[in-house]
Amino acid sequence: MQSRSETLHLRSAGTSVVIDLTTPGFPAIIHWGEDLGELSQSQLADMAIAARPQRVSGGLDTPSRLTLVPLESAGWQNEPGLVGSRHGHDFSPAFDAPEAHNGTVDEFDATSVTLRAVDKCTQLELETTLTLDGAGLLHQQHTLTNLGPTDYELQHLLATFPVPQSARELLDTTGRHLRERSPQRHTFTTGRHVRDSRRGRPGADSTLFLAAGTPGFGFERGLVHAVHLAWSGNQRVAAERTVGAHALLQAGELLSPGELILAPGESYTTPDALGSWGDGLTAVSARFHESVRARTSHPSSSRPVTLNTWEAVYFDHDLDRLARLADAGARVGAERFVLDDGWFHGRRDDTAGLGDWFVDNEVWPDGLAPIVDHVTALGMQFGLWVEPEMINTDSELARAHPEWILQAGGRLPIEGRQQQVLDLSNPAVFDYLLERFDALLRQYAIAYLKWDHNRDLLEAGSTVTGRAAVHSNVLALYELLDELKARHPELEIESCASGGARVDLGILAHTDRIWTSDCIEPIERLTIQKYTNVVIPYELMGAHVGGPRSHSTGRQHELSLRAGVALPGHFGIEWDISRLDDAELSDIAAWVDAHKRVRELAHTGRAVYADLPDESADLRGVVARDGGHALFTYTQVTTSTSYPPGTITFPGLEDDRTYRVSLASPTAPLESAGQSPLAWTEHPVHLTGRALRTTGIQAPVLFPEQLRLIDIFAI
């Protein structure tokens, strides 16, 4: 335990955070980024003095500071960090400044600090915890407690991260169903850039992260800071630059009017807001990945190759057909077989049955035992699709309990996917769902649940409280997931939400992977997976091989592209392979074997992306933790203006080590008609990591939408 001071220094994994406790209103971070080394208390105090702004003409007599919770009472004239009131009163809190001598600063060590402050006028207590974890990722959470005798309505409480003045460009993601996490950039000018999600889940159009960096920053270079909110409901992330030369990122839960009212003595804790930084997005990503992989709940076993039945059979649940599909899956090396939608009562299409979580006796007269037993006898795990949070109005449950549906004003919201949403915060609903799925898990050898969530929330009010209930439903969901896993410790759960509409580290604290997107077409997946991977490591990203013709785009691609793009992720198959001949099955088996050979590398190594000057091509890879092995995929996405396309350079390798570079199977040899052989594929070359990073090698000449694997081994 270090001695208390007016300036605190947190250090971990190459990151320093310096906190000034003397700023008006609340403490401020005056440095977040590169490790500053050992600093004396005198040096820290001088840093705080050096950060104080001057008073200027036309401004306040006490210049405002960007604090952890910027407040109007301290002169902040932009978006406050805390907004709320008691029916319009006590709307502007002014907290006592934390001071070391009175014990307001408690729990301080080299990597974390907890600060407490009280406003006696508004009768609020604010506790802030900052933690630098073992990856150098900065965690920030606030807890607000109502000390007064009346209710306090909270509108928002945001985590605030300062970014350097060099951050002049913003990057976030947007999207839609079948095209999540598309990147978008714009200049970080004076003003506020806000990304709200009001869909009851992050949503397909939400941003997974918000990054601010030097103009033109890429994956390989450029100072960049980024935030992610680990929360599975409504949320707000924002970037703001002020005329007072402050630049900041903010993240927090987005609350509906009256949704969060603190009764006397009650507290609210914000979701974990995570901040990462580095020279390039790869460094930012590495901190996220290392932090996620250090969780005690992180999957420790190899991620099973998964065969999912959805695009193979849809609702056609015929035992013989499914058994043949399972046989083919076992033959090619699948390790998990997942029975998708259509197994429960009244579920012949997507218009009915949700909520009636009993096996349909007409489709499965002997229950699920025949298919479960067949799958497990083949040595595969059995998985099952479920959508517990949803309900069709055409269901026995809806007819019996219409009051269990989220709604406002006594009317049901507009339907989405012919379905409504259950109120998990209602104890009766929670108990029903827990009983139903616990019973299924006890009856059958189910190792995996594909937990879907196929519509956005609208007018999500509870009939129990009469108030908006997104916040309480997210907490109830987390509790339900945890209780099922506590009762069934070997159970794994996937978070699917009409594809990738609920991708965040909040849901992944309670589940074992996300379904990255309903679109598994490989060209679309290149972008989707790249920007999902900024925060989510490959082993938690479901990535499947579809059939030759994409169900979502209609385009056709060869197997090497479809499988090569999926290769580093949590690999699987989404295709009726029971109809294929022996040669085609052997080709798939070769790709399954290739994945198994590299999955430890892909699921423990460092993901890297090359910033190629020619945007017609894509080069990405994974480098082993010890730097001794790397696997890259090179994709010719479109035709290039250059022919041959020129050189490609490889990031992430160790400069002073020598590597052997070669094409890897099972991608086919390069076509040679009309072109000379590529020298380094005929005679593998040996180059240093520095040479590969700077000079590079001649790129393969490929047709558009072709992919090749490149193996790089240290010698």
Query: What pLDDT was estimated at residue 108?
Result: 61
Higher pLDDT, 454 or 667: 454
Q: How far apart are CA 400 and CA 428, in angstroms?
A: 13
HSE toward the beta carbon, residue 560, CA cutoff 13 A = 19
Quick one: pLDDT at residue 674? 72
So what's the pLDDT on residue 2? Answer: 36
Confidence of residue 107 (pLDDT cuts 50, 70, 90): low
Cα–Cα distance between 312 and 337 in angstroms, integer?
A: 12
Give the helix/strand (H/E) hosting 588. helix 582-604
In the block, which residue shows the tokens 């059979």? 313
Percentage of the chain lying above the pLDDT 90 cut: 95
- pLDDT value at position 103? 36
Binned at pLDDT 50, 70 and 90, residue 181 comes out as: very high
Q: What is the pLDDT of residues 650-679, one digit of tens each?
A: 999 999 999 999 999 998 888 766 788 899
Asked whether the beta carbons of 589 and 560 are under 8 A apart, the reply is no
For the record, the structure tokens of 574 come out as 């989404």
d(CA 425, CA 254): 18
Residue range 350-370: mean pLDDT, rounded: 98
The pTM for the full model equals 0.97
| Beta carbons of 519 and 553 less than 8 angstroms apart | yes
Paired residues of 594 in beta bridges: none
Biggest CA–CA distance in the chain, Å, is 84
Q: For the chain, what is the mean pLDDT?
A: 96
Residue 1, pLDDT above cutoff 80 = no
Question: What mean pLDDT do residues 375-396 have?
Answer: 98
CA 568 to chain CA centroid, nearest Å = 17
- Phi and psi for 410 in degrees, rounded to 5? 75, 15
Q: Catalytic amino acids?
A: 452, 518
The pLDDT score that the predictor gives to residue 5 is: 74
Domains and CATH numbers, the chain: 77-293 (2.70.98.60), 306-604 (3.20.20.70), 610-714 (2.60.40.1180)
Contact 474, 254 (CB under 8 A): no
Residue 709, pLDDT > 60, answer: yes
Let me know: does 451 contact 437? Beta carbons within 8 Å: no
The Cα–Cα gap between 337 and 381 comes to: 6
Residue 629, classed as helix, strand or coil, is strand
Residue 235 near residue 197 (C-beta atoms within 8 A): yes
Q: Does the pLDDT at position 569 exceed 70?
A: yes
Return the number of other C-beta atoms located less than 10 Å from residue 435's C-beta.
11
Q: With a cut of 50, say whether residue 80 has pLDDT above it.
A: yes
Q: What is the pLDDT of residues 515-559, one digit of tens each?
A: 999 999 999 999 999 999 999 999 999 999 999 999 999 999 999
Give the model's pLDDT for residue 676: 85
pLDDT confidence of 102, banded at 50, 70, 90? very low
Res 437 pLDDT > 60? yes
- State the DSSP string of 436-496: HHHHHHHHS---EEEE---S---S-B-TTTSSB-HHHHHHHHHHHHHHHHHHSTT-EEEE-
Is residue 39 a contact partner of residue 9, using CB atoms and an 8 Å limit?
yes
Q: What are 481-507's pLDDT values in tens digits? A: 999 999 999 999 999 999 999 999 999
The residue type of 104 is: T
pLDDT(148) > 80: yes
Mean pLDDT of 214-232: 98
- Residues 182-211 have pLDDT tens digits of 999 999 999 999 999 999 999 999 999 999
